[in-house]
Structure 1
C-alpha cells in the first residue's frame, strides 16, 4: 500500500475523489448511478480523452497548446471534403488524411515555437485564432451533413438492453480512444523518445547539454498532439454524424483542466496517461451529474475554472504534503529507505 501511494499518489487521489463524487451525485439524482449512464459518460468522453493524451505529451515536454480543438475542427472539414472529392473513401483513407492534416497543423506550432522562438502559449493562441478565423471565413460557418456512408453509420462494438429498457453500447470512438491511450503510454514510458521528453520538460538546459535534440522534442510533442487532434476530429464527425465548424470550439480549456488535474505539470517533466484519463472522466462525471440535476451549464464553467486554479496550485505543491501527517511520515520513511 505504501509503495502504491508513493508511486501513484495523484491517480489514487483522483480515483478516491471520483468515487466520492459519484456517491454524492447519486444522492442528488437516481438517474446518475446506472450502468447505462456510465456507458454514456464513457462514449461522450472518448473524444476529450484522445485530445488529452495528445496534450499530455506536450505538457510533459514543458510546452502548452490551446489550439488543438480548433485544429481538429479544421481537420474535420478538410478530411470530409477530401473524402467526398475522392468518391467517399473508407476508414483507412479517413484516418490517414485526418492524421496527416492534424500532424501538419501541430508541426506548424512546433516550427513557430522552436524556429521563431515564440513562447508556446503565445504561439498557440495565435494559431488558435488563425485556424478558427480561416475555417469560418472559408466555410462561412456552413455545416456538412452529407458525410460518406461509412463515416455517418454508427459503428457499435457491443450493445445490450437493460431490464429497465435502457441500452448500453460500446462505440467506435471508445475503442479508438483506448488504442490512442495505449499508443501514448507506450511512447512516453517505453521508448527512448519518451524518456527524452520527460528529461527535456524537467530540465531543458540539462537536456540540451546532455545532447538531446531539442528540435526533435518540439516536433515530436506537437506533432503527436496534432495526430491525436486529427483522430479526435474524425471521431467527433463520426459520433455527431455531421461536421459543424464550431462544434469543438471551447473544449481546449476543459481538456487542459482535466489533463493538469490528472497530474501533468505545467512546468513539464511529469504526467501519466492513467492520471490524464481519470482527470477527463472526473470532469465529465461532474458535468453529467450537474446536467442530470438540472444545474445551469454556467455553473459547470465556474467549476472548470476552479479545477484549473486548483490544478495549477497542486502542480507546484508536493502532493504528499496534502496527505494526513501519518501518511506523510510513512511516505518520507519509504523514500528514505529507497
Structure 2
C-alpha cells in the first residue's frame, strides 16, 4: 500500500487548516461555498508555483527575495516579445517566460557563487535592480494589449451552484505540473539529493564530489524558471501586466514556505509542506477579508511567521536549547 510521506509539520498544518476552515465556515456565510474555495485554489496556484521554486533554493542553503520582482520583469519581457512575434501561443509563452526567468535566476547565482556573496545581500540588490529597471523602462505603465490566448479564461472544471459559478482554471493544471516537476527533481534524482546535502553541510558536500557551482546555478535557475511561469500565469489570471502587481509577494511566499517546514539554514523542506503552508496563508488572508478585518493584520501575521522562522533557524536557539538540556543530561548520567 502506498504511504504518503507526511511528517509532523505536515500533519500539524492539515489539522490547523481543517480547524480554521471549520471556524471560518461558522463565522462567515461564503467561505465554505464552492465558488470561494475554487477561487482560493486558483489564486493560490501562482504562490504555490513560486513556493516550490523557492523551496529548492532554501533546501540548497540559500535564500532569494527577488523572485517576485523577477516575475514582473518576465511578464513584461514575455508580453513584448510575444507582440513582436505576432502573438504566439501557450507553448511559446511558457517557453519564453521560463527562459527569461531562468536567466534572471542564474544572474543571481553568478554573483552568489562566483564572488562568494551572501545570498540575501545579492537578492536584496537584484530585487531593487530588477524593479528599478522595470519601472524605468516601462514608465509604470500597464500592458493591456495581450494575445487573446493569454487573456481568455480556460475553465477545467465548471460547476453552477446557488452561490454562482465555481471554476477551476488552467492555473491549477500548470501549478500541478510545476509541483510534480519539482517533486521529481528533489525526490527522484541524484541532483535532488545533492541539493539537500549541500544545504545540510556545504563542506561535506564538496568533499564527496558535489559540484557546488552547478548546484547554485540549478537552484536559483529553477526558482527563476518557476517565477517566470508564475509571472505568466499571473498575467493570465489578471488579464493584464501591471509593473507592481507582484511587488511584496515574496514575503507572503517565504512565510508560507517556512511555515511548511523549510529551514532557512538549508537541508530541510518538503513539497507537501509548501503546498499546505501556502494554502494556510491563503486561507488566512481570505478569511480576514471575508470577516472585514484590516489587511494590516495579515501583514502582522506574515511578519511574525518570518521572525519566528529566523529565530528558530539561528545558532543561538540551538545553543540555548543545548544549555537547557545539559543539566538534565548530567542528572540522568549521575
Matched residue, 1:52 = 51
Seen in structure 2, the aligned counterparts of structure 1 residues 115 and 221 have a Cα distance that, compared at 3 Å, is: same
**Normalising by the residue count of structure 1, what TM-score does the alignment of the two structures yield?**
0.90
CA contact (8 A) 2:34 2:166 kept: yes
CA contact (8 A) 2:63 2:120 kept: yes
Give the whole-Å Cα distance in 2 for the aligned partners of 1:19 and 1:312.
26
Question: Shift of residue 188 of structure 1?
Answer: 0.2
Question: In structure 1, the residue corresponding to 2:158 is in which secondary structure?
Answer: strand
Question: In structure 1, the residue corresponding to 2:293 is in which secondary structure?
Answer: coil
Give the whole-Å Cα distance in 2 for the aligned partners of 1:176 and 1:315.
32
Matched residue, 2:29 = 30
Question: In structure 2, the residue corresponding to 1:263 is in which secondary structure?
Answer: coil
Moved more, 30-39 or 191-200: 30-39
Matched residue, 1:175 = 173
Aligned residue pairs: how many?
315
Moved more, 165-174 or 285-294: 165-174
Query: Which of 229, 242, 260 is the equivalent residue of 1:231?
Result: 229
Question: In structure 2, the residue corresponding to 1:161 is in which secondary structure?
Answer: strand
Give the whole-Å Cα distance in 2 for the aligned partners of 1:199 and 1:187.
14
Question: In structure 1, the residue corresponding to 2:125 is in which secondary structure?
Answer: helix
Question: In structure 2, the residue corresponding to 1:32 is in which secondary structure?
Answer: coil
Matched residue, 1:326 = none
Question: In structure 2, the residue corresponding to 1:246 is in which secondary structure?
Answer: coil
In the TM superposition, 1:1-338 aligns within 5 A as 8-162=7-161, 164-315=162-313
Question: Shift of residue 22 of structure 1?
Answer: 1.3
Question: Shift of residue 24 of structure 1?
Answer: 1.9
**Normalising by the residue count of structure 2, what TM-score does the alignment of the two structures yield?**
0.91
CA contact (8 A) 1:160 1:169 kept: yes
Please, which runs of 5 or more residues in structure 2 have no aligned partner? 322-334
CA contact (8 A) 1:48 1:255 kept: yes
Question: Shift of residue 156 of structure 1?
Answer: 1.1
Give the whole-Å Cα distance in 2 for the aligned partners of 1:20 and 1:264.
23
CA contact (8 A) 1:264 1:315 kept: no
Give the whole-Å Cα distance in 1 for the aligned partners of 2:66 and 2:184.
25
Please, which runs of 5 or more residues in structure 1 have no aligned partner? 322-338
Task: Give the aligned CA root-mean-square deviation in angstroms.
Answer: 1.6
Matched residue, 2:326 = none
Question: In structure 2, the residue corresponding to 1:94 is in which secondary structure?
Answer: helix
Question: Shift of residue 37 of structure 1?
Answer: 1.3
Report Cα offsets for 1:48-85 as digits up to 9, x if no partner: 00000000000000000000000000000000000000
Give the whole-Å Cα distance in 1 for the aligned partners of 2:85 and 2:215.
35
Give the whole-Å Cα distance in 1 for the aligned partners of 2:104 and 2:142.
21
Question: Shift of residue 313 of structure 1?
Answer: 4.3
CA contact (8 A) 2:33 2:163 kept: no
Question: In structure 2, the residue corresponding to 1:160 is in which secondary structure?
Answer: strand
Report Cα offsets for 1:236-260 as digits up to 9, x if no partner: 0101000000000000000000000
CA contact (8 A) 2:105 2:221 kept: yes
Matched residue, 1:330 = none
Question: In structure 1, the residue corresponding to 2:243 is in which secondary structure?
Answer: coil
Question: Shift of residue 157 of structure 1?
Answer: 1.0
Question: In structure 2, the residue corresponding to 1:109 is in which secondary structure?
Answer: helix
